[in-house]
A and B are shown apart, each in its own frame.
Chain A
Amino acid sequence: MFLYLDPGSGSFLLQLLIAGLAGIGIAIGASWAKVKRLFSKKKGEPKSDEETDDDE
């Protein structure tokens, strides 16, 4: 990787921290979704983010 910008040590670290927390969040979310699926018949539509451009 070739860094022409200084990404900032703090900025890098924060991303790793957020990623770690989000990872835990996703894990919890995923198991929560599993629990929910047990109790609901309707399956949620998978959200396609292909066209989620900013022009809402």
Chain B
Amino acid sequence: MTTNSAHGASFRDPSGFLFTRDGVLYRQVNQVYAADYDRLMTSGLYAKLVEAGRLIPHEEVDLAPAAPGAYKILRPERVPFISYPYEWSFGQLRDAALATLSIQKRALKFGMSLKDASAYNIQFYKGKAALIDTLSFETYKPGEPWVAYRQFCQHFLAPLALMATRDVRLGQLLRIYIDGIPLDLVSRLLPGRTRWNLGLSAHIHLHARAQKKYAEAPLAEARRGRTMSQEALLGLVESLQSTVRKLEWNPAGTEWGEYYDHTNYTDAAFEHKKELVAEWVGRVKPRLVWDLGANTGVFARQASGPGTYAVAWDIDPAAVEQNWRRVRQEKEQNILPLVLDLTNPSPAIGWDNRERESFGQRGPADLILALALIHHLAISNNLPFERIAESLAGWGEWLVIEFVPKNDSQIQKLLRSRADIFPNYTREGFEAAFGRFFKIVESRPVRESERWLYLLQKSV
């Protein structure tokens, strides 16, 4: 017997849905969407977008449908790691926004239009922002405004404007508002000077007022039979493009942005760490690596390569932004930088908490890198070693972890402003705690330092 499990977030659009059968991800296209699907495939739009790396390719397969009303079953290519907009750096969200608009422009040329513009429909695939929802297109109907305009503004323009003009941390509002940030809230939070920006003034401030004024008005009444030419629709999309392009944020002045420039250890120690990581990655041959506290991704990059996809998590949006710029510049395909506060990682959100997965649910990784991280968890966040070891064992099979001794200047800096209530913070205590969840496969002192690197494998 086969079991189908419908994806927790795939319920809004009656055009079809995602499901997993025997571990393979499929998309059912329903009869109601048949004409639009055929148009996407035969018009040349699908080929054009796939060629541009802007749409996830799929194969039509001959498979029993998962529910009545099926037209076709597709097997989409899988994205190596699903990430969410509240985990993206400013540049990643901006690229995702521009990708959506570029897709909409292309669609219009082929007589189609995007019927949604959800940030969750974009994923990073082969180093580029790409649309994963094949069912997002509908046949363009002359005269119609853009159905997804509101969603685009809430999901993309609103957080980008807040991040660029107010504070980059406001991107985290996306974690609270799953359908994008309400425009009235954004309008209140944005600095007054944004009213002089024509794009933000129209697409955010005026938009918020229009929403309020016509909140109760039926659509037909608000329209009064008016139509929008295709030229005007294209103009709207281009106006959004130029508004997004003008929004900028540059990584500077945050805590870690230039971390590697003022670390306390020598080049030799740094190089030795890189060597050990390379050696152990070669031994474990992981498919998925999570680098926790990755900073700008030096070690994640070292670990990534053909067959190994590395997710470089860091709390600092500046470090993640720098990492993303590098990915774009070098056209790297096997590394994904993401923002994460490991002491309060992304929760599962949405209906029944099943629409977007938590950090842990997207694991386990084959290998976890936890370099220069332990003291931040154990000392800054008061986490006992056992708790850290237990969680890491849940997130990955193999672990490369660095032990930083208490006399290290980084720790002394952390202890400058607080009492040392950590008598168990010793290498012996560390080994005993981690030994409860992992087997110590190898441990090596890092050259020209008092730090140690461990290769651990999960026991049990």
Interface residues of A (CB under 8 A from B): 1-19, 22-23, 26, 49, 52-55
Is there contact, CB below 8 Å, between A9 and B219?
A: yes
- Give Cα A13–Cα B213 distance, bound, in whole angstroms: 10
Against A, the Cβ 8 Å flags (1 = close, 0 = not) of B205-216 are 011011111110
Q: A1-B144, A4-B115, A54-B102 are in contact. Are A10 and B210 (CB under 8 A)?
A: yes
Give the residue name and chain of the A residue nearest to B105 (CB).
A49
- Cβ-neighbour of A53 out of B52, B215, B217, B222 (below 8 A): B52
- Give Cα A32–Cα B109 distance, bound, in whole angstroms: 27
- Cβ-neighbour of B223 out of A3, A4, A13, A53 (below 8 A): A13
Closest Cβ of chain B to A49, distance in Å, is 7
Is there contact, CB below 8 Å, between A9 and B214?
A: yes
Is there contact, CB below 8 Å, between A12 and B232?
A: no
Q: A13-B222, A15-B228 are in contact. Are A7 and B239 (CB under 8 A)?
A: no
Is there contact, CB below 8 Å, between A2 and B138?
A: yes
- Cβ-neighbour of A15 out of B129, B141, B145 (below 8 A): B145
Is there contact, CB below 8 Å, between B211 and A1?
A: no
- 3 tightest Cβ-Cβ pairs between the two chains A and B: A54-B98, A19-B232, A10-B210
- Cβ-neighbour of A7 out of B54, B129, B141, B150 (below 8 A): B150
Give the residue name and chain of the A residue nearest to B117 (CB).
A5
Is there contact, CB below 8 Å, between B148 and A8?
A: no
Residues of B within 8 A of A49 (CB): 105
B218 interface residue (CB < 8 Å to A): yes
Is there contact, CB below 8 Å, between A7 and B219?
A: yes
Is there contact, CB below 8 Å, between A54 and B214?
A: no
- Cβ-neighbour of B102 out of A7, A10, A52 (below 8 A): A52
Q: Among the listed stretches B10-18, B62-70, B186-194, B394-402, which one makes contact with chain A, having 4 or more residues with CB under 8 Å of it?
A: B10-18
Q: Interface centre among A1, A2, A8, by most B CB within 10 Å?
A: A8
Q: A7-B147, A14-B202, A23-B232 are in contact. Are A54 and B207 (CB under 8 A)?
A: no
Closest Cβ of chain A to B76, distance in Å, is 20
Give the residue name and chain of the A residue nearest to B328 (CB).
A55
Give the residue name and chain of the B residue nearest to A16 (CB).
B226
Number of A-B residue pairs with CB-CB distance less than 8 Å in the complex they form: 115
Give the residue name and chain of the A residue nearest to B210 (CB).
A10
Closest Cβ of chain A to B15, distance in Å, is 7
Residues of A within 8 A of B101 (CB): 54
- Give Cα A14–Cα B157 distance, bound, in whole angstroms: 16
9 chain-A/chain-B pairs, Cβ below 8 angstroms: A1-B144, A11-B207, A12-B223, A15-B145, A15-B146, A15-B233, A18-B232, A19-B228, A19-B232
Is there contact, CB below 8 Å, between A2 and B236?
A: no
- Give Cα A2–Cα B116 distance, bound, in whole angstroms: 12
- Give Cα A2–Cα B226 distance, bound, in whole angstroms: 18
Residues of B within 8 A of A54 (CB): 95, 98-99, 101-102, 129
Give the residue name and chain of the B residue nearest to A21 (CB).
B202
Give the residue name and chain of the A residue nearest to B52 (CB).
A53
Residues of A within 8 A of B215 (CB): 9-10
Closest Cβ of chain B to A45, distance in Å, is 18
- Cβ-neighbour of B145 out of A2, A12, A22, A52 (below 8 A): A12
Is there contact, CB below 8 Å, between B239 and A12?
A: no
Q: A19-B233, A49-B105 are in contact. Are A9 and B141 (CB under 8 A)?
A: no
Closest Cβ of chain B to A46, distance in Å, is 15
Give the residue name and chain of the A residue nearest to B15 (CB).
A4
Is there contact, CB below 8 Å, between A19 and B138?
A: no
Is there contact, CB below 8 Å, between A22 and B217?
A: no
Give the residue name and chain of the A residue nearest to B153 (CB).
A11
Is there contact, CB below 8 Å, between A22 and B232?
A: yes
- Give Cα A16–Cα B202 distance, bound, in whole angstroms: 12
- Give Cα A9–Cα B228 distance, bound, in whole angstroms: 14
CB proximity to A under 8 Å, residues B197-247: 202, 206-207, 209-215, 217-219, 221-223, 226-229, 231-233, 235-236, 239
Give the residue name and chain of the A residue nearest to B95 (CB).
A54
Closest Cβ of chain B to A33, distance in Å, is 16
Q: Interface centre among A3, A5, A16, A23, by most B CB within 10 Å?
A: A5
